[in-house]
Structure 1
Amino acid sequence: MQLNSYDDWSPLEEVIVGSADNYTTHEHELSFKLFFYDQLSSQSSFYDQQYYPVVSPPSGDTRLKGGVQSPINKRYVEELSEDVEGIAQALESLSVKVHRPMPLTEVTRVETLAWPAAVLPPLNIRDNTLILGDEIIETPPQVRSRYFETQFLKKVFQDYFQDGARWTVMPRPVMTDASFDPSYAQRSPGGPAEFIEEPQSSPYDTGFEMMIDAAQCLRLGKDLMINVSTANHALGCDWLERHLEGRFRIHRVGMTDNHIDSMVLALRPGTLLVRTPRVAEMLPEPLRKWDMIFAPEPEINAFPSYDDNDLVLTSPYIDLNVLSVDEETVLVNEACPELMRTLERHGFTTVPVRHRHRRLFGGGLHCFTLDTVRRGSAPEDYLS
């Protein structure tokens, strides 16, 4: 079937579900800490660690060393894999065709001109690929260990390309220390006492580079709402505006550090699922006219208990990260009965699925999936 997806609510016909194979560790280096700054800065077990330098060149070598490894409990990974397979099965039971990425067959590291990094499996596949109609757009990653993540999707993308899809790769950043804009972390309250004052120089420095994730984009037919909080995001948004000129309208917002799909999601035309009224105030004016369903406050007993050394990478609002199968049907974490009841009161049918360790692995149901085919022939104008 031909690639076709303009929004998050039209009837879902084909989807890619991520893979958790060989997810064994988090790597504490500059890009990881900047990306997850809001979460890491609030964890007492990491508060007193020196924030920089974590990455520094060895004697006589201009390349950057890798970061400190933080192993993940094997039981968590096994349970994660079980839950990912359950998500795929739930979608298949709803008559959705499920594609899977190539798995990470062994733990491995890669090196570029500027740095080495451990490779992450293609789990949160929403993050680095933006589907707009019949076009695949691979976005420039913000975390070094995810630099080659879309390579695991090549087989699926190749099939769509052969069926007529357009396939675009945004310019890839070099990702030296000087590539990252640390201003969001520097102006945010709290966090590590020592900020990034003197990044290590590299012969490959080019200044700030474009880095932006697809999960910073809310797709609304002919319109895209994009979160921009750093110079890296702004450059990526500039590129998208020029590339999509005449086809899509872009609305910039500045509501969070990076991703917005645990802050606001569009469930159907005219209806949004929103984290809080404060988030609603930051939406573009046309979207403020839509009906808003405010997510219930997360309940602490909805999450597993973890040790101090376990890295928690999302806010408690991660379960707002639902996946719409159509305008009436929504996949929701089974640990959130109050969220399900809230959606059902607004006329939705909820499909409960198990997803235990979403906070450890940085993603919910929306993050773990990439819808490639939704019914519909052209982008609609919902905001004029």
Structure 2
Amino acid sequence: MFLHENISGDNDLSRKPWLYPPFSPPAGGDGRSRITIAQRHVDELNEDIAGLVETLESLSVTVRRPLDLGPAVPEVRTPAWSATMIPALNVRDNVIIMGDEIVETPPMMRSRYFENQLLKPVFMDYFNQGARWSVMPRPLMTDGSFDFSYADGSGSADEELRPTGRPDDSPYHVGFEMMMDAAQILRFGKDVLVNVSTAHHQLAYEWLARHFGDRFRIHRIYRLSDDHIDSTVLPLRPGLLLARSPEIIDRLPAALQKWDRIYYPEPAADGFPPYDDNDLVLTSKFIDMNLLSIDAETVLVNSAHLELIALLESRGMTVVPVQHRHRRLFGGGFHCFTVDTVREGGLEDYLSG
């Protein structure tokens, strides 16, 4: 459900895939079978992460790394469920920096429930230096916690949410709960865009509005995407947006619609590695839009997307190409793989006037 927009296009057996073979789950599984990732893909991922770190440090960026998830970590458990924990790879997904405050968001996936524990040394260091640190309420995450309306196709971007749930016989069932990945949130200085596609996103939006309403302008956007907003719209510099398509623009705040914009170019098919039928592709063909701004003129872009590099350079951007081969397999690009905690400058007002 959470990755519906991505997985339904490339892995659903009933539809022609955009690029890769349809996903074939392990035979004889019980619905909870583990999916093995080829070791060569893991090795190449680690090589590419090392290259990303080296590039960032060459640009005078201080890089801090999460703790490793050791191989001996067992299934994690709560009173309501158990799940296999995953490493802290897409670190932006579960934390957002709001001024001088670290905010941990309630995850959308059970396997990521304790992921921020691997970032605790970094958060503690900032806290000891004077940062504020908040944790949004943690969900119980029973089966009935989830609103399936987006995946079920009910509702639209132009109307209020109409949640749809599933039966839940858990003794811990409390109905729809607050859940939202931080990657559903984009901050433009004092203005914060929050993508609301489900009932649990709406609850998280209300928490953000109450907690930060006196410090930031919180804008709700309905159903810009099902999961993460940063492969739909992304600021490049003040006054210039990178957008997935013209269709999303009229759903942005009026002041943001006045910004100049460029649209993500269709990637060449040979820009992605080929995968086998048992490789689960998690992200869409828009993943290379998930770039990282170093400053108002400099961006890190996947070296394989030559069309995007040329487009950005034509708009005066300095592009730093970096290799990241398996971004579709591991569920994130450079924006997902990083969370910028300290930047030069103050809290700017980009959208007034």
> Secondary structure of the equivalent of 1:312?
coil
One-letter code of the match for 1:67?
Answer: R
One-letter code of the match for 1:119?
Answer: M
Work out the CA distance in 2 between the residues paired with 1:44 and 1:317. 16
Are the structure 2 counterparts of residues 130 and 155 from structure 1 closer, same or farther at C-alpha, using a change threshold of 3 Å?
same
How far off its partner does 1:44 sit? 4.9
Structure 2, gaps ≥5 residues long = 16-21, 23-29, 156-163
Work out the CA distance in 1 between the residues paired with 2:272 and 2:181. 26
1:290 and 2:243 are equivalent in the alignment: no
One-letter code of the match for 1:199?
Answer: P
How far off its partner does 1:198 sit? 4.5
1:232 and 2:200 are equivalent in the alignment: yes
1:326 and 2:299 are equivalent in the alignment: no
> Secondary structure of the equivalent of 2:342?
strand
Higher relative contact order (CA 8 A, sep 6+): 1
Map Cα deviations across residues 222-249 of structure 1 (whole Å, 9 max, x no partner): 1001110000100000000000021001
Are the structure 2 counterparts of residues 113 and 162 from structure 1 closer, same or farther at C-alpha, using a change threshold of 3 Å?
same
One-letter code of the match for 2:173?
Answer: D
1:170 and 2:139 are equivalent in the alignment: no
Work out the CA distance in 1 between the residues paired with 2:14 and 2:279. 14
How far off its partner does 1:220 sit? 0.4
Map Cα deviations across residues 112-148 of structure 1 (whole Å, 9 max, x no partner): 0100000000000000001011000000000000000
1:76 and 2:45 are equivalent in the alignment: no
> Secondary structure of the equivalent of 2:346?
coil
Work out the CA distance in 1 between the residues paired with 2:14 and 2:36. 19
Indicate which of 85, 98, 116 corresponds to 2:63: 98
Aligned to 2:225: 256
Work out the CA distance in 2 between the residues paired with 1:44 and 1:127. 23
One-letter code of the match for 1:180?
Answer: F
Are the structure 2 counterparts of residues 46 and 112 from structure 1 closer, same or farther at C-alpha, using a change threshold of 3 Å?
farther
More divergent stretch after superposition (276-285 vs 110-119): 276-285
Aligned to 1:40: 7
How far off its partner does 1:213 sit? 1.1
Structure 1 outlier segments of 4+, above 6 Å: none
1:89 and 2:58 are equivalent in the alignment: no
Contact 1:126 1:366 in 2 (8 A): yes
Q: Following superposition of structure 1 onto structure 2, how do residues 149-228 of structure 1 map, counting pairs within 5 Å?
A: 149-187=115-153, 198-228=166-196
Are the structure 2 counterparts of residues 132 and 66 from structure 1 closer, same or farther at C-alpha, using a change threshold of 3 Å?
farther
One-letter code of the match for 2:52?
Answer: I
Contact 2:11 2:281 in 1 (8 A): no
> Secondary structure of the equivalent of 2:201?
helix
1:310 and 2:279 are equivalent in the alignment: yes
> Secondary structure of the equivalent of 2:286?
helix
> Secondary structure of the equivalent of 1:233?
helix
1:111 and 2:111 are equivalent in the alignment: no
Work out the CA distance in 1 between the residues paired with 2:93 and 2:246. 25
Aligned to 2:161: none
> Secondary structure of the equivalent of 2:229?
coil
Work out the CA distance in 1 between the residues paired with 2:206 and 2:53. 35
Work out the CA distance in 2 between the residues paired with 1:253 and 1:205. 28
Work out the CA distance in 2 between the residues paired with 1:45 and 1:353. 31
Contact 2:298 2:320 in 1 (8 A): yes
Aligned to 2:32: 67
Aligned to 1:375: 344
Are the structure 2 counterparts of residues 36 and 46 from structure 1 closer, same or farther at C-alpha, using a change threshold of 3 Å?
farther
Contact 2:5 2:225 in 1 (8 A): no
Structure 1, gaps ≥5 residues long = 1-33, 50-64, 190-195
How far off its partner does 1:197 sit? 7.1
Work out the CA distance in 2 between the residues paired with 1:379 and 1:338. 32
Contact 1:45 1:309 in 2 (8 A): no
Are the structure 2 counterparts of residues 206 and 334 from structure 1 closer, same or farther at C-alpha, using a change threshold of 3 Å?
same
Number of matched pairs: 330
Contact 1:181 1:230 in 2 (8 A): yes
Are the structure 2 counterparts of residues 197 and 149 from structure 1 closer, same or farther at C-alpha, using a change threshold of 3 Å?
closer
Map Cα deviations across residues 301-328 of structure 1 (whole Å, 9 max, x no partner): 1100111221111110100110000000
Larger strand share, 1 or 2: 1
Aligned to 1:25: none
Work out the CA distance in 2 between the residues paired with 1:198 and 1:176. 10
Aligned to 1:279: 248
Work out the CA distance in 2 between the residues paired with 1:315 and 1:253. 21
Aligned to 2:319: 350
Work out the CA distance in 1 between the residues paired with 2:269 and 2:96. 33
Are the structure 2 counterparts of residues 310 and 188 from structure 1 closer, same or farther at C-alpha, using a change threshold of 3 Å?
farther
Work out the CA distance in 1 between the residues paired with 2:143 and 2:54. 42
Contact 1:303 1:356 in 2 (8 A): yes
Are the structure 2 counterparts of residues 188 and 72 from structure 1 closer, same or farther at C-alpha, using a change threshold of 3 Å?
farther
> Secondary structure of the equivalent of 1:366?
helix
Are the structure 2 counterparts of residues 206 and 79 from structure 1 closer, same or farther at C-alpha, using a change threshold of 3 Å?
same
Work out the CA distance in 1 between the residues paired with 2:208 and 2:288. 29
Contact 2:148 2:165 in 1 (8 A): no
RMSD after superposition? 1.9
